[in-house]
Structure 1
Amino acid sequence: MQISNNAVVQFHYTLSDTSGELESSNGSTPLLYMHGQQQMLPKLEAALEGKAAGDTVELTLAPEDAYGEVKQNAIQSVQVKYLHGAKKWKPGMKAWIQTDEGQRQVTVVKVGMFKADIDVNHPLAGKTLTFKVDILNVRPATSEEIAHGHAHGEGGHQH
């Protein structure tokens, strides 16, 4: 089966920038996504269209096609209690905060007793990124997955 709208794709990936490998899913549970549901960077999803199990896709994206350029005025002050991911915070650490659009990863810039300055740029903003995606399996989405708008099962969303 080829990747098309409402296909559930199981894959491993490696993500690199110009300095080398940043992260990889190899050695862990493969990931799942449902194609056509805007769950991935648009140009990466477009590159996967029409591919099948056993294919490998390698794609380099400029910052504007990945996580955007770094915005210089993206520092905000928040109460430390709203930072999730650690008990004690230091500058440079990654944290999660809840926003109106869901959880968002931020970088801690400065920490006080009750407040922290955070950089709301995506941690990969401003970087040229290379994705290597190894497609392991492609299957039709179930009617339940289509109704929910995402893949179910190990590596996907669990209910």
Structure 2
Amino acid sequence: MGFKLLSLITIFCFASTSYAQSIARSSLNSFGNSVQKNGIRLTQTAGQSSNYSVFNSTELSIELRQGFQQTNNHLIHDKKGLQFILYPNPNHGSFSIQFDERIYGEIKYRLFDNQGRIYSENKLSTAGTHLFNFNLPAGSYILQLKDSIGKTGTTKIIIL
């Protein structure tokens, strides 16, 4: 009786561990786009094994996402902060910044990675469009801008 019980438990343990884990096919998006106009934001990505849409509406904005996308909920978007457009994003390290409003004085910027290491820190004037050529390894980085009166703006950049 004891040998049969021990054999049964051994078979059960081997059978349960052989089916306990499986490998699921997954993919990483290869490219995408984001468009915003009149408070409506549309984002899409391609190169994925699944495709679905999410509709998110607040009083001030509407967001429609297609494809498997993780939003940056951990980033705080302050509507009263420094407003600017960074383009093209993603790319190989050459970015342009255009400010949405007229800004006086100088702007300080910092570029750091997701672990908080600062890669670049400098000042720039506020006139016109600014070009950046970051010679960095591929990955995602955070660009933080701060004007002379303390308004800040933050965005995520992706270097391919």
Normalising TM by the smaller chain, what interval? Answer: under 0.3
- TM-score, normalised to structure 2, is 0.23
Q: Does 1 or 2 have the higher relative contact order (CA < 8 Å, sep 6+)?
A: 1
- TM-score, structure 1 as length reference: 0.23
- Larger Rg computed on CA atoms: 2
